[in-house]
Structure 1
């Protein structure tokens, strides 16, 4: 490997064009430190190999080639495995049996070797009666905990690879007898050329030395209990040959090696049995996961649950209830280059698999179906995705949308009933007090009192109000082959929604104006010095937020300086808006009859409205229980609403006259009009050579989608104006000039 340079307890490599391991050039590189000053995939393995901290700035661009990267990772894994096995051996408190084997002399008769298999022909009971054991054959020393030199023989023992772990008292006595007999016979040995120490397990068969009855040796100095070796019996010699490497790997603590030997076994029965056991584990986890009583997030298909859908919750369910299945899927999805996996993709794949097992586990498919529906996917597309398991079918999606529609209608009914109850209690209180409004004298109409005189009413407890918004939805259908009967079609629909008020204003009176217009001074509508000071303060806050966002030196003020304007209702306005979709009516608001039907459809959600039959029978000119709800839209929509009201002035009841709905102009096109005024004033093609103008900056940054008509591309014009404003403020900030 390349020799690194040590500097301040950190190392760095001087050559960035060569591999730090083999010092060769290779195109396939695993960077240690990337060019963006981030850690590369080879950072961990190089730090592990050198056992030193790496300097980041000096090692930018250093890399390891693909061959060395794989080799170093293999070395790292082997070293970690060696350390784990070493810790297991050192932490164990088992007793070893060491057999010291000496070379036989020429005069010593041969003794047949005992077979390791538990076969009846190899047991000592079938030994020839004239056969004896040589006194120079073996010598066994019992060593507890570690290997030392033999007391009866002048030889050094080698570390044993097999431990003696007898399981019962009979085998313990048997090992002691064998050890004592071998030690006695080893003491009479006179000629020894060379000693050889081996560690082998004691045979579970009965001892051949039945006549030698010696007492069991005890280690009084250590006081530790002796643990003896357990024996394993095989049904056949073939099975013993096949499973011997597996048992040996398990005895050494290498479970991974044992499983590898089983799966790579040449025996088909062993392979199939192991696969069957793994399948049973996965089957058990899937059965538990697919139970309807589990209450997992994959089973939650209601509208409220789909609104709060979160993929991380699905991941936690798989990790907790199906850990083996999750481990298999993550390992299959792990990239060989980055050694990482995408959790979202793994979770999505498992959701598709589980949906094929149980049709109730399809919350992810519902979310995908709704997303595709919002992005104009056709019916044929849903059928393809449903067959692949990625989405629900088109019919299932329609059922879910119908349930959502019913849910929205029930939500609107609840808001309507709450306002109706509040209106009824207010009328009862007014009848008791014999007063319909709060007395406001004209003399108090100073210092903006017309807007603050009823501020005490805003703090009264009242249910949340709401308003309606409608807008036209127009599109053209162009035919490819036009004939006399097959022409282009222009569709005009109306989209409706309800918005819940974040600031409660239901306690304000609607029976009288808050002030007399004749008594209000004209100066009340002109900006005062206080208004100018407030505007300047707001502009300072806007500019400060831009500087904090883009200049690194101002980042320290990010958590200190407020990002929003503070006012009386800041807490309410910080909440998320509640928008209730009311569907699309196939009505054209440009037609008076269609506009009347649209208002009649919305009037069913007005608090206190009476059914049509009840209103016909009563024929009252006024319905005190009905509370008017604003209907907002652009200028053209408000004009159509006023035209519908004029057409129904001759109605007999307030419901027929559509008095439950009042018009309100929404600022739908306010920003477009403001941008259009800016483009008309500052965007001129004749100023292409004048530095700093909008048209010159547009050409410099090649924003060709910016045109003078703001309504043609609203988002392009708006982002361009924001970009130019930010650039001008930042240039002034860099120059150090005062902005205000």
Structure 2
């Protein structure tokens, strides 16, 4: 110790730097640490570093706490001794609550040598009782014993306790003292009735148990994955081209959770359970399964075909194959040929059979008919270095597709023979007027849309939106929910910009899809496209009117604008009728509302096609505002039964009456017009 003076600490012998020390010979140090230095037999000389001084301060604080506890203990003992029962017992008598003396009965000693229960002191902590767990076989049982009471929840967990495990056999028993802290905590959790997650959580704190758990989980995953590579299992494998065509992320995720639940649970914990993470989850598991067995390549084939159609070259596909995301370039090329053969078979089943059936049976609506869709495909190639011979190239094709209708005449359940389809020009004009039944159906649909708008914006009706139907039901709902059969049929090397090219396109489409016998058209087919394509096709038909047969006059095509172009035309008509700059001072007009809410992206009928979405959204907002304003006008403030569907439909009908959409008056007026047209036609 004498060597640890000067610039060294007398306790740890570390060199003291600067003023980070305390002199033990000072009066203050002797008053604070004198007793402690005598207990450790250390001379009161030299210096101590700040770390050792902090330890001495902690020892001194412990002494103060012990003194306080001793004082509190003595005060508590004096209080208990002053109680009547303790005073009477100190005098040698046993006093009952009523004050009468009771003769003390001698107690027999316990055979085990333990103190009888009646002689145990009042403040003695009870021992943990022994628990026996009998196995189902009856051969052995388990007994867990805690040598002290510190294994219960009532005492701090930082205190040490010993756990004794006893295994009871039929004739003998085996005991073991558990000393590992993780094992002790796990057994304590079992004794306290905790769940298996809590027990395993305590065991996982030990490295050996953690590694053992990982090995057990790995074995389970290997057993699950090894079953998928068997020949009897067809999941995650490409058995036919239909598996590629019917691939869905939801089905793959569900199959993964069913076939490999352990692996799926681990990946889900890492990625998450959000809907947008479903594709990432399927890709992560698919790459692992493909690395395990290359026969599990359904996902890799789908991704490979998608990337190949997007223009990824051979080198890129090979890199993605090395990463396990796609199959090899050779496999993609072979599968692409198989898909082309499958497409030819589908075309033969849909188009060729339709044409042959029409040629044999004539125009028959009992079978599914087809529609043709087409649009131009233009590509311009600009050279990097333009010369006289190397100029800009403009390539033009025309892509045709065929869609099969899902609803046939037999699905309508109409009795009697199938009526013949008359020519459009031969249908009387009164047939185009809606009947009373048609008007009721349309007004019923109007009421549905009005009710949806009210439940969207009016706070009183918002709680009913979950109980109201999401869509209008109709008899063919199951048919329309099915996936449509759409086939890529041909890429014609002609341009629709010229009349001669459009005539060649119509001739190819008519020869492929329209049944013709001896130059006569048996059944016409709808030819859909954009507005410009329909105009050019109609002009091509007019240019062929001087030919002798219907086939040469291209009468097999019925022109119709498709999808978005129909909405273009309808929206253009609305803006041409109701959007006028002269109505800027008329409150409630479309032009006035446009200026009121500053919808600068709405410019009128001239830009409806170029800015379709803003014009459509503005029209929807104006219509909804009209409906809500009419609802607030007709709905009474103190009316009851607001929270039911019948009241919403009643208000919806009143709103429709405000816009002169009553069922009775309109249906009668249309019926009268129809009757008058019938009389004129017959006359």
Could you say which residue in structure 2 is the equivalent of 1:722? 620
Distance of 2:586 and 2:214 partners within structure 1: 77
Could you say which residue in structure 2 is the equivalent of 1:263? 208
Which structure's residues are more often helix, by fraction? 2
Match of 2:497 among 590, 610, 623: 590
Could you say which residue in structure 2 is the equivalent of 1:4? none
Where 2:489 maps in the other structure, the secondary structure is: strand
Q: Does 1:324 align with 2:222?
A: no
Q: 1:263 to 1:723 in 2, by over 3 A?
A: farther
Q: 1:632: Cα distance to partner?
A: 3.4
Distance of 2:290 and 2:525 partners within structure 1: 46
Q: 1:359 to 1:667 in 2, by over 3 A?
A: same
Could you say which residue in structure 1 is the equivalent of 2:224? 285
Question: 1:114-171 deviations in whole A, cap 9, x for unaligned?
Answer: xxxxxxxxxxxxxxxxxxxxxxxxxxxxxxxxxxx952414378437898999x9999
Q: Does 1:151 align with 2:111?
A: yes
Where 1:670 maps in the other structure, the secondary structure is: helix
Distance of 2:535 and 2:278 partners within structure 1: 54
Where 2:294 maps in the other structure, the secondary structure is: coil
Question: 1:593-652 deviations in whole A, cap 9, x for unaligned?
Answer: 54455345435643767xxxxxxxxxx94479x655343345653454466667888999
Q: Does 1:304 align with 2:242?
A: yes
- 1:24-173 aligned at under 5 Å gives the runs 150-155=110-115, 158-159=127-128
Q: 1:525 to 1:154 in 2, by over 3 A?
A: closer
Q: 1:683: Cα distance to partner?
A: 3.9
Could you say which residue in structure 2 is the equivalent of 1:734? 632
Where 1:495 maps in the other structure, the secondary structure is: strand
| Structure 2 residues without counterparts, runs of 5 or longer | 1-108, 117-125, 142-160, 191-198, 411-416, 636-654, 660-683
Q: 1:464: Cα distance to partner?
A: 0.9
Could you say which residue in structure 1 is the equivalent of 2:651? none
Match of 2:472 among 564, 567, 584: 564
Where 1:415 maps in the other structure, the secondary structure is: helix
Distance of 1:569 and 1:512 partners within structure 2: 25
Distance of 1:321 and 1:565 partners within structure 2: 37
Question: 1:251-297 deviations in whole A, cap 9, x for unaligned?
Answer: 776555445424389xxxxx6x886666444333332233343222x
Could you say which residue in structure 2 is the equivalent of 1:547? 454
Alpha carbons 2:510, 2:557 under 8 Å: kept: no
Q: Does 1:631 align with 2:539?
A: no
Where 2:397 maps in the other structure, the secondary structure is: strand
CA RMSD of aligned residues (A): 5.5
TM, length-normalised to structure 2? 0.54
Could you say which residue in structure 1 is the equivalent of 2:570? 674
Could you say which residue in structure 2 is the equivalent of 1:59? none
Q: 1:164 to 1:199 in 2, by over 3 A?
A: farther
Distance of 1:165 and 1:565 partners within structure 2: 62
Q: 1:263 to 1:494 in 2, by over 3 A?
A: farther
Q: 1:712: Cα distance to partner?
A: 0.7
Match of 1:706 among 588, 599, 602: 602
Could you say which residue in structure 2 is the equivalent of 1:358? 293
Q: 1:495: Cα distance to partner?
A: 2.2
Match of 1:664 among 556, 559, 579: 559
Q: 1:351: Cα distance to partner?
A: 2.0
TM, length-normalised to structure 1? 0.51
Greater relative contact order: 1 or 2 (C-alpha under 8 angstroms, separation 6 or more)? 2
Alpha carbons 1:585, 1:598 under 8 Å: kept: yes
Distance of 2:467 and 2:433 partners within structure 1: 36
Q: 1:528 to 1:465 in 2, by over 3 A?
A: closer
Alpha carbons 2:397, 2:491 under 8 Å: kept: yes
Aligned length: 481
Could you say which residue in structure 2 is the equivalent of 1:184? none
- 1:230-249 aligned at under 5 Å gives the runs 230=174
Q: 1:538: Cα distance to partner?
A: 5.1
Distance of 2:421 and 2:163 partners within structure 1: 105
Distance of 1:170 and 1:525 partners within structure 2: 90
Distance of 1:377 and 1:706 partners within structure 2: 39
Distance of 2:329 and 2:590 partners within structure 1: 49
Distance of 2:473 and 2:162 partners within structure 1: 85
Q: 1:228: Cα distance to partner?
A: 4.2
Q: 1:260 to 1:581 in 2, by over 3 A?
A: same
- 1:317-396 aligned at under 5 Å gives the runs 317-333=255-271, 345-368=280-303, 379=313, 388-390=323-325
